[in-house]
Structure 1
Amino acid sequence: MGALSRFISPKAIAVIGGGTWCENVVRQCRDTGFTGPIWPVHPKKTELGGLPAYPDLASLPGVPDAAFIGVNRELTVTVTAELSKMGCGGAVCFAAGFSEAVSELADGAELQAKLVEAAGDMRVLGPNCYGIVNALDGMALWPDRHGMAPVERGVAVIGQSSNVLINLTMQRRGLPLAAVVAAGNQAQTSMSDLGIALLEDPRITALGLHIEGISDLPAFEELARRASDLGKPIVALRVGSSQQAQAAAVSHTASLTGSDAGARALLKRLGIAQVDTPTELVETLKLLHVTGGLRSSRIASASCSGGEASLMADMGEVAGVVYPPLNAQQSDGLRAALGPKVALANPLDYNTYIWGDEAALTATFTALCDAELGLGCVVVDYPRDDRFEAPDYDQVLRAVAKTGEVTGTPMAMVSLLSEGLSEAVAQRALELGVVPLCGMGDALRAIRAAAEVGARSGDNQRPAPVLQPLNGHGDPRVFSEAEAKALLSGFGVRVPKSQRAMTATEAGVQAEEIGFPVVLKGEGIAHKTEAGAVVLNLTEARTVTEAAKSMPAASFLVEEMITGTVAELIVGVTRDPAHGFVLTLGMGGILTELIRDTVSLLVPACREDVQSALSDLKTGALLTGYRGRTPANLDAVIDTVMALQKLVTDHAEALHEIEINPLICRAEDAVAADALIRMEEQP
């Protein structure tokens, strides 16, 4: 664990402060099983949490490896400097009132900078955080209750909300939590630093993240690379999906991206699974702990109820898992195990004929679990353990475990309701190598997430570093369409032949020079169709002039009419300070925001990723010849996207957003029929 190892796995601990929080830390360390010395420090108290207290740091009998600083924010800086000077390994800074409170405290950011300076080479966690619980080594620099118990191996979770982490430690779903760390303000030590340190511990099997924001993008990319090198998966629960798109955006693209799209694109790019709820995080971590990630989302399901089989089918389709049809070998094996009365399918209702027959259950589950599956699932909810004994249900658990041993297929028990698998049952399942998944909906979404991780685990190709927005020089301006297209053309994007006209009469003259039919557009209007500032398929100079006179514009753009359209796409890029430049591909034209069929990537994206993203669109089949129609020139489409990315890379310091909408995709080429650029002036 490198420089953080002393801090995370200390031999001696100091607790500085005298309030209830500090007393709790002393008690939590003792209750969690810490066997090293704990040194409370307080200038007046002689005892704290049942241990003798020292009046100051200079009086300690040794140098602590880790410390909990539970004093006010100003004194926290002073104590941090003293600990650093004496050679302490790291300190939890509990106090608030630093950069997180700049709207209330004018000196918050300044005080945080002083804290970092005072720490020097010593690691600082926070400020404004609860700290660390390390159940592997029985250490809890944690000022409140937690629900963790000693484990020999398990998963780690890092978050920015101490209360969310407390609640996660109270889970009763059998998740083996090895370490929980609250990162707080990340003034010096980031989630990425902590994640790498934890994953390098051979006892940590997987990492969960609760992310409110990514402060250091290159460090986060390094975390993903290190996790991949170690073969340990990461799953993230990120908040912020409800935030509105950038307020200053004027393009369709920006209304379709924003920070959530950027975050999702980043996590996918880095091979980190993303979940949407805390319960999905817990269930996914259980899967990752046992399996390391599923090789696919192709699963089989068995239950003794047709209703459960139907629910698995319906909910699985929504969650994004696949139930492949039974092959001949599976069907033959199931028929031999179940007899002629059971209808064979996947998901399977094996009925109740074999209930209580452990050998028959094992034979059934073994026949169902084909070697190509990502996971085998058996649906079962145990009866209430406060009212019933259930030895026959334990037969199912043993049969599931035996199936995993015989077939090599990862196996899971899935309960309909979250309480259908008690904590005791879940722990027994884990001991047998079976994943206990609590609650059918959470389980199926967790399976999809674990398959996303597994699909990337064998990929030796590393994505290029994300292009980061550079500091600009001022406020951006919206380029005219003619300016935007000229810039695009300079990077190899095909644009229509066009001429600018300052009067309606001049527009008619320009149309004759270009050749009919033409398109007339009013300049300086972002959404031209809605404003009545675009007219298509004009075939005479007179009609061009008349159309120009009726437009709410002072100048005009006359362009060749592009015909032979196969499909219309939107291709755009927006600046996302937290995640780089977000590249959005989707159905274009006037229905872009209504249909909202888009996929987001981060710049730079390779040709293969762009092609894959286009195929992921619901309307992507239009590009490849839907129902016998003429296909678009896909290479030309991808060439356009790559050229646009080159433009973004060359103007990363000034570009805020760029959009081609529509990109008219034809059998012979792809043409940028309309374009918008918002960019700062460059010196």
Structure 2
Amino acid sequence: MTPAQRKNFNRLLRPRQIAFIGGTDAGVAINEAQRRGYAGEIWPVNPKRAEMAGLPCFASLDDLPGTPDAIFVAVPANAAIDVIAKAAAMGVGGVVCYAAGFREAGDGGVKREEALLEAAGDMALIGPNCYGMINYLDGAALWPFAHGGSCPGYGAAVITQSGMFSSDITMSQRSLPLTHMISAGNQTVLGMEDFVDVLCEIPAVRAIGLHIEGLQDVARFERMALKALSHNTPIVAMKTGRSAIGSALTQSHTGSLSGANELYDALFERCGVIAVDSPSQFIETLKYLCIAGAPKGNRVAGFTCSGGGAAMLADHSETINLSYPAFDADAKKILEGLLPDIATVSNPLDYTTPIWGQPERTLPVFTEAIARAGVDAAILVQDYPAQGLDETKHFYLADAEAFGEAAKQAGVPAAICSTIHENMDADTRAALMAAGIAPMQGIHEALNAISHGRDWAQAHARIVAADPAPLLSAPMPDEIEMISEAEGKDLLRAAGLSVPQGVLVNGAGAPGAAEKLGYPVVLKMMGPKLAHKTEAGAVKLGLGDAAAVQAAVCAMIDAVQAYDADAVTDDFLVEQMVARPVVEMIVGIRRDAQFGLAMTIGSGGILVELLADAETLLLPASADDIKRAISRLKLFKLLNGFRGNPVVDLDRLSQTLAALGNYAMDHARTVAEIEINPLFVYHDGVRAVDALIHRIKP
């Protein structure tokens, strides 16, 4: 976004005048601006109509009484280009281009979109192929369909790449406070990153929600996500297009690149972006962050008026690393004095029905329990009665008020959640919000939101302190070639990794080389067509004498001949057998046109396909980043001394892998891909047993 576009985007967000250009859709958009309470001037433009939405029409932009801050364009694509060019020449600030038929429509649409980009000049343009923008804070809307949503003076700014999903969010019955809604469309001029750049600076924006089909500029997204982090503004992202079908639909919808799922996950982890996978979780997480705020840790105080509800809290929390600290003896004694005899003092706490709805009794229970458990967050489960059956509702609200007061006194985020999503009516949600309590709908969604908030708070502290280096750009090479394993191991040695002692010889020299190295040895045939030596029969392990080596040479030639006659060579790598490791890992470094260099680490050897246990990081990555990724692997328990195994020095392992990543970045012009499988991991170091490396052809 240029300085001029930024200035014009601010005009678009808070326009003093809006010109609505088109027919029926433009008329609906005028009605929606009025629904939103827009207090500025509205200028309908249509040469064939005398009036639109009850307002007199102007025949063209030339006839307007002044230059509008914003225009809404709902005419066919070719006409839209002409209108936008005229608006740019007039000095209009910003435009919502509702018109479709651009990049998403194929080759002809691509040319139209190029013309649109040129026509826009310095204007801030949202779209094309989008619904537009709603500013709930300032009462402005350029939006062509009926919409809902409200703003209590703060809330979430939501940016989506699907117009219908953005509309659905405004209509949701979940009381998500909103400050802005932007349907980004094709992002010809302004992209998701530009919106984040501006919106994260607005104090009333307490969180930003992103529905992402694909990113156009990953490096810029990283910079803007880190900027939002520095402004204490959490980002919640729902990435769609993760399946093969979803990816194809994404590309046909807006022409966006979907990208590999694990690379998006790595990007979000790197930037402290909260990733969710469902619309309800998207809304509930944003709601919790906006109203309650992010908890600093994972210690929770849970309350129910039902033993079953307490068990539900505990069960799901265990799977997402939320803990319920037990009460010590002194706390138990105090709580026992406050609770009925039938109550059992525990966390989560079922405070039982004899004191239900009596704030003079429940307030001390909530207050003592929250304070004495030393928690980071508090949650109360309440399912409210349906309309017409709500003669007892005041009892629920009395406990809710007492719970909110206790959490406020302790200074911890508070949430009240219904077990069943719809069991919390709009009036109750509004009352809870006014008290600073997040009205959450669904136990799992509520607990997940607390967990997400906790993760964000910890990521915020870590990332802001670390000030990570920017992503490395790594253009895709025109052509790559595989280097031999022997040559590849020389490269790994230069990168600081240990490799088995070995020598490259012809078949006749293999027995002599083995004698010098010492038995047992490994024999491998080298060749440009032997990337997967095991499948070709091109590797033999545990050879104990010269005769075995010679026999292995002959057998290997026959096996490779049967596999692929053109793959047979007379080049053999003879290596010392290495000791059995604590674990086998796989380490890979590859490049992506969007994301640059990425490192993948995981369970290696035969477990690669069996466990699918891997984590991906974008480079550069620090040793601490890699250590955290390792801790998320299923393999981590084995590294950490599982069932008497030696404990691996994780710091040394992480530093070694970080050095490998640094080597790949330093040699990004020559090294295309690195795969080490297996990497033998010992308690005090590593050894690269096998390597598949490709270099860029000069």
Given the alignment, which residue of 399, 411, 416 partners 1:408?
A: 411
How far the C-alpha of 1:2 sits from its partner, in A, is 4.8
Aligned equivalents of 2:268, 2:353: Cα separation in 1: 43
Whether the 8 Å CA contact 1:41–1:53 is kept in 2: the answer is yes
Q: Deviations over 1:176-207 (max 9, x none)?
A: 11210011111110111112222222222211
**Structure 1: stretches of 5+ with no match in the other structure:** 247-256
Cα distance change of structure 1 residues 298 and 580 upon mapping to structure 2, 3 Å threshold:
farther
- Name the amino acid aligned to 2:489: K
**1:536 maps to what in 2?**
541
Q: Which moved more, 1:545-554 or 1:176-185?
A: 545-554
Whether the 8 Å CA contact 1:174–1:424 is kept in 2: the answer is no
- Name the amino acid aligned to 2:631: S
**1:136 maps to what in 2?**
137
Cα distance change of structure 1 residues 667 and 318 upon mapping to structure 2, 3 Å threshold:
closer
Cα distance change of structure 1 residues 394 and 245 upon mapping to structure 2, 3 Å threshold:
closer
How far the C-alpha of 1:579 sits from its partner, in A, is 2.7
Whether the 8 Å CA contact 2:474–2:592 is kept in 1: the answer is no
Cα distance change of structure 1 residues 330 and 155 upon mapping to structure 2, 3 Å threshold:
farther
Cα distance change of structure 1 residues 452 and 34 upon mapping to structure 2, 3 Å threshold:
same
**1:385 maps to what in 2?**
387
1:60-459 alignment, distance < 5 Å? 60-102=64-106, 106-149=107-150, 151-243=152-244, 259-370=260-371, 372-389=374-391, 390-459=393-462
Given the alignment, which residue of 579, 587, 590 partners 1:571?
A: 587
How far the C-alpha of 1:29 sits from its partner, in A, is 0.8
Whether the 8 Å CA contact 1:377–1:413 is kept in 2: the answer is yes
Whether the 8 Å CA contact 1:259–1:576 is kept in 2: the answer is no
Alignment root-mean-square deviation, CA: 2.3
How far the C-alpha of 1:147 sits from its partner, in A, is 1.5
Aligned equivalents of 1:56, 1:378: Cα separation in 2: 58
Identity of aligned residues (%): 39
How far the C-alpha of 1:328 sits from its partner, in A, is 3.8
- Whether 1:464 aligns to 2:468 is yes
1:659-670 alignment, distance < 5 Å? 659-670=675-686
1:15-34 alignment, distance < 5 Å? 15-18=20-23, 20-34=24-38
SS of aligned partner of 2:617: strand
Aligned equivalents of 1:121, 1:674: Cα separation in 2: 54
Q: Which moved more, 1:578-587 or 1:27-36?
A: 578-587
Given the alignment, which residue of 616, 640, 652 partners 2:632?
A: 616
Aligned equivalents of 1:45, 1:363: Cα separation in 2: 67
Whether the 8 Å CA contact 1:232–1:292 is kept in 2: the answer is no
- Name the amino acid aligned to 1:177: L
How far the C-alpha of 1:611 sits from its partner, in A, is 2.0
Cα distance change of structure 1 residues 163 and 306 upon mapping to structure 2, 3 Å threshold:
same
- Name the amino acid aligned to 1:52: P
SS of aligned partner of 1:565: coil
Aligned equivalents of 2:590, 2:388: Cα separation in 1: 56
**Structure 2: stretches of 5+ with no match in the other structure:** 1-5, 248-257, 561-567
**1:253 maps to what in 2?**
none
Q: Which moved more, 1:51-60 or 1:70-79?
A: 70-79
Counting matched residue pairs gives 667
Given the alignment, which residue of 607, 615, 620 partners 1:604?
A: 620
Whether the 8 Å CA contact 2:222–2:267 is kept in 1: the answer is no
Q: Which moved more, 1:187-196 or 1:327-336?
A: 327-336
- Name the amino acid aligned to 2:225: A
**1:36 maps to what in 2?**
40
How far the C-alpha of 1:462 sits from its partner, in A, is 4.4
Aligned equivalents of 2:81, 2:45: Cα separation in 1: 16
How far the C-alpha of 1:60 sits from its partner, in A, is 0.3
SS of aligned partner of 1:107: helix
Q: Which moved more, 1:271-280 or 1:109-118?
A: 109-118
Aligned equivalents of 1:313, 1:532: Cα separation in 2: 52
Aligned equivalents of 1:571, 1:463: Cα separation in 2: 25
The runs of at least 4 consecutive aligned structure 1 residues that moved more than 6 Å come to none
Cα distance change of structure 1 residues 392 and 531 upon mapping to structure 2, 3 Å threshold:
farther
How far the C-alpha of 1:441 sits from its partner, in A, is 1.5
How far the C-alpha of 1:634 sits from its partner, in A, is 3.8
How far the C-alpha of 1:668 sits from its partner, in A, is 4.3
Aligned equivalents of 1:430, 1:264: Cα separation in 2: 32
* TM-score normalised to structure 2 length: 0.91
SS of aligned partner of 2:422: helix
Cα distance change of structure 1 residues 324 and 579 upon mapping to structure 2, 3 Å threshold:
farther
Whether the 8 Å CA contact 1:243–1:260 is kept in 2: the answer is no
- Name the amino acid aligned to 2:632: D
- Name the amino acid aligned to 1:388: D
**1:643 maps to what in 2?**
659
Cα distance change of structure 1 residues 659 and 267 upon mapping to structure 2, 3 Å threshold:
same
Cα distance change of structure 1 residues 69 and 502 upon mapping to structure 2, 3 Å threshold:
farther
Whether the 8 Å CA contact 2:29–2:145 is kept in 1: the answer is yes
Cα distance change of structure 1 residues 90 and 654 upon mapping to structure 2, 3 Å threshold:
farther
Aligned equivalents of 1:232, 1:431: Cα separation in 2: 21
Whether the 8 Å CA contact 1:156–1:178 is kept in 2: the answer is yes
**1:8 maps to what in 2?**
13
How far the C-alpha of 1:244 sits from its partner, in A, is 10
How far the C-alpha of 1:245 sits from its partner, in A, is 14
Aligned equivalents of 1:527, 1:196: Cα separation in 2: 47
SS of aligned partner of 1:228: helix
Aligned equivalents of 1:259, 1:304: Cα separation in 2: 45
- Whether 1:476 aligns to 2:480 is yes
Cα distance change of structure 1 residues 668 and 436 upon mapping to structure 2, 3 Å threshold:
closer
Whether the 8 Å CA contact 2:474–2:591 is kept in 1: the answer is no
Cα distance change of structure 1 residues 486 and 451 upon mapping to structure 2, 3 Å threshold:
same
**1:250 maps to what in 2?**
none
Whether the 8 Å CA contact 1:135–1:151 is kept in 2: the answer is no
Q: Compare relative contact order (CA 8 Å, sep 6+) and give the higher one, 1 or 2.
A: 1
